Structures are given as structure tokens and as C-alpha cells.
Structure 1
């Protein structure tokens, strides 16, 4: 139940390529407010094409926060985002009754909505050993260990992200407790209402949309973007879908068509994990994409409740 006379954060979630950006802009324009991006890849100003950021027209349609806000050379954790995003939302609420948060990064959305639990002390020797193992032997061995020790966390997060994989494994090896069991066991009370909206559609339609988006990214120069970032390839931000596959191509490990097919496959897998994460939240109200009027009508009804 919404509390009357306080501000409302409208949260839009769902898998990649489903149309979250367009809906967020429609809602922000309707309520004359601003958008907070909770997409962990769109923070980085060097990564443009492969992260499907809002284009210039979309950015001009509504004020966005956390788009191009950081460099790939900067570490920007989920905890950092929780602190900074809450400050931005507070500032938006000084001017508007509603704010919009949009993104498919479940951990980052969760950090703002529910807060993060205090994380345990980590044995730095274990962290160093895992980082060396990753450098020497690659990501797969880290993935396999995490999948064995904490399959729930493994399924929730980007499996191509070494920082996420190492984080989950170092927590288990340091504490013998699963990181998945520590996430949001107690929710923090926020001083604003929260309305959660999810977008989803038929899986075949979603997968077709993903495939078309990847083709469009390639047409728009994704390969050239990846080439321009080769000196940053060891930075954590670039160990992600759409970039790591093309680095493999540039290393002559795979042909270009195989690399592109891998981007599509890994993006489809990522979308499936996103949906698994968000479907656990019973407070999310689900809609088909492309129906902003229905979503806004629902929000209006929620806002009118005493």
C-alpha cells in the first residue's frame, strides 16, 4: 500500500531489448520528472554502441542520470551506486513528486529499492589468489567454482563479468557462507513510495528483438568501438557481453560471424537470467511493451490511493 503525501519512485525493469528506455521516457514526460538509470553498463562513457544507451533524441526528451557518468577505468560498485543514486533521487524529489528509475541490472535496482546488507570481511589473500587464477587460467575456472559453491548467485548475475564471479567466490571461500544468502535479507525502509513495473513478452519476440539489436549494433560500428577500447580490455567494465566476444575475434580466436552469433546467444542467456531475477519479486506489475498508456493509467490509480 502506498503512503499518502510522500514522493514516489517509479521503477521499470525487465530483460534487455524489451523497450524499457522508451517507457521510462514516456512516464518521465507524463509526470514531468527525471530518470535514474540503473543499467550497470550505461554508466561508462567509453562504451556507447554495445550498451544500447539512450540516443541524443531520447536523452533530450527527459533528463537522465548515470548515463556516461563514469569511466571504465573507475571502480563503481553496487554500494557506490546505492549511495549516489539515493542522493540523486532525493534531489529530484525536491522538484518533483515522482522520479523514474529504469534498468535491467537487478543488483543495482535492488540496492536502491531494498538496500544492501553489510558484507563480510574478505580474506585479501583469497582475493589476490582468485585474481591471479583469473589472469593465469581465465574466467571459466572461476565460473565453475562459483557454480559449485553458490549456484543461486551464479544464476543471478552476469556470468561474463569476472568481478561478479570473483566476488561471489571470495565471499564463500572467506566465510563458507553463500553471497546469495546475504543479499537483501532485511529490507531498508526508504522515505518514499515505490511502484514497480516489469516489461516482458513472448520469448520468441524477445529473442528476435535481441538478435535485431545486435545486428544494428554491428551496423552502427560496434567492432570499431571495441577496437578503440582495446587498451582498456582488462578493466572490469569491458568484461561483458558484446565486448568480450569481439575481443576474441580481434585475438583471432574466432571468425567474426561466430563472435556475433556468440553476442546474440550470450545476450539471450543474460535476458533469461534477468527475468529469473525479477520474477521473484511479487510487487512487480507486468506489462507487454509498447503500451505506455496502460502503464500510466495503472500508476495514476496507485497514486490516487489514500
Structure 2
């Protein structure tokens, strides 16, 4: 099995894996949705250049911020990299807190038709005219099985299901059965976590450290390079807030407090995501010292090969 180290932001995943790398010959595959972007280093808590020299990292700095990156891209890239790393007789390890990416590795990927913006815009216009409930009722008629699995307020999934139906003329549920790509590998998923208040304290301190080490300058450079705050890459927490600060819409203290709050709320959402995943092992990192935690992962890895 391939180990996956995941969990909420600021739990200490990167620090742990860098210490683990001193004991076994491994290469890291990044599973963070925003560390793939160049020029976004401080705000994404990207491993430093020095750390990346010590141990090989993959899927970091592979795109400029105006590009898009999806769970499907990650799935394909990660499987290819795992094969390459194993062929070198090294150990791959997945590290990152993007739950969707981790779950995609575990369950596989729907390889159906790509997005069709014309169709999506038609559905968005229907929502404006008749409401989301109208589309949900339509979905219930053509694919009641899938409609029961999702919320009637989940516009993203409703539109995608209807988009696929428009293209393939079959229900989304049936399309999943036909076009699903199953994973090549099995994974041992460790969800690192800490006591809530301790985690929140770490988040708050980390945001302060990011500001101290030049996060505002980083965002200002992105702005001067022409990268709009409306880009998907700028959904990374803190970037839009700092854009607003630079544009005079908030003072710095207000900006920092807003980033801290958003990050704490994000950590809650990450935990909720992982709680809904099956076959994961929860690891309270506060119950281990670094050496014991390293020995635990090494023992599990050796037993699974």
C-alpha cells in the first residue's frame, strides 16, 4: 500500500514527512491543490527550496496561477509518478490536505465527458429564471438514484449530472458505472489531527509568521504580474483578503484576523470531509513523539509491501 499523510492544515504533515525521509528513501507527491502554482509560496505553506533539495517533491510549482488544476489531473499525475518512483526502487508517499484529491486516489475517477461551458451556462440561466429547485426536480426525474445521494442545494453536482445527461443521453449514475476509472494502487491513509484549540493556536501563529515573512509582498508581486484575484488559484485562503488590503479595502489587522478565521473554518471543513471517508486511520499526533510516529509509519509501510 502507498502511504498518504493527510489531515487539516497546520497539523505538522510536512515536518513529519521531512523527518521520515531521513529514515527511508522516499519521494513526496504533493496532494495540496494550491502548491502546484508557481509564485504562491508563503500563503500555501509550500516546502522551502532547501527542503525540496533534501528530498524530491513532485507536483509543486508545475503551473502558473492563470492555469487550472483538477482532481482528475492530480489522479492521473499521481498514478504515473507512483509507477516511476517504484521503478527506481524508492518509496512514494502522498502528502497534503486536499480531501478531494485523497478520496479520488482511493476511489478512482469518473472519466466522462469534459466540461461544456455552453451547456453549463444554459443551466445557470435556468437557475436564475426558475431556481435551483427546478433543476433538482428535473434531475430526480432522469436520475432519481443520484438525486438522492446529493443535496438539493448542491448546484455544482446538479449541473454536472445534467450536463453529462445532455451529452451522453444516459443518467449520471449509469455514466459513472461505464466511465469510472479505478485506481491502480491501494493506499494507507493517515489523517493527522490535533486537539481543536491547539490546532487553532498553530493556525493563528502560522498566519502571523506568513505575514512576517512577506506574504503581502508575495501577493503584491502576483498582482503586478497581472494575475487577477478572480482566478481559481486565488481561492487559496488569504490571497483575496490580501488583495483587498493592497487595494485599501481593509486594514492589515482586519485582514490578518479574517485570514485566521477563514483558515480555522477551512480546518473544520477538512475534518468533516475526512470523517466521511472510509478506511482511514486517525492519528492524534499529540500522542506521539516524532520518533515513535516515524516508527509507526515505517512499520505499517514495511508490513504492506
Give TM class, smaller chain: 0.7 to 0.9
In the superposition, the TM-score normalised over structure 2's length comes to 0.77
Change (3 A) 1:91 1:122: closer
> For 1:50, what is the secondary structure of its paired residue?
coil
**CA deviation map 1:241-297 (0-9, x unaligned):** 110111222333322221211111111111111111112234222223363333333
Task: Give 2:38's aligned residue.
Answer: 45
Q: TM-score, normalised by structure 1?
A: 0.77
Which residue is 1:296 aligned to? 294
Q: How is 1:68-147 mapped onto 2 (pairs within 5 angstroms)? A: 68-96=61-89, 98-119=91-112, 124-128=117-121
In structure 2, the residue matched to 1:188 is 182
The answer to whether the 8 A contact 1:38-1:101 is kept is yes
Contact 1:28–1:35 (Cα < 8 Å) also in 2: no
Alignment match, 2:267? 271
The runs of 5 or more residues in structure 1 that have no matched partner are: 1-7, 133-140, 155-164
* C-alpha distance in structure 1 between counterparts of 2:93 and 2:202, whole Å: 24
Alignment partners' CA distance in 1, 2:25 and 2:108: 27
Deviation at 1:129, TM superposition (A): 6.1
- CA separation in 1, counterparts of 2:211 and 2:122? 37
| CA pair 260-103 structure 1, distance change in 2 beyond 3 A | same
Structure number with bigger Rg: 2
Q: How far 1:52 sits from its partner (Å)?
A: 0.5
Determine helix, strand or coil for the equivalent of 2:3.
strand
Q: Would you say 1:247 and 2:236 are equivalent positions?
A: no
Identify the residue that residue 159 of structure 2 maps to in structure 1: 170
Task: Mark the runs of 5 or more structure 2 residues left unpaired by the alignment.
Answer: 137-146, 166-170
Deviations 1:18-41 (A, max 9, x none): 100011222233221110010011
Task: Name the Cα RMSD after superposition.
Answer: 3.5
Distance of aligned partners of 1:170 and 1:247 in 2 relative to their CA distance in 1, 3 Å threshold: farther
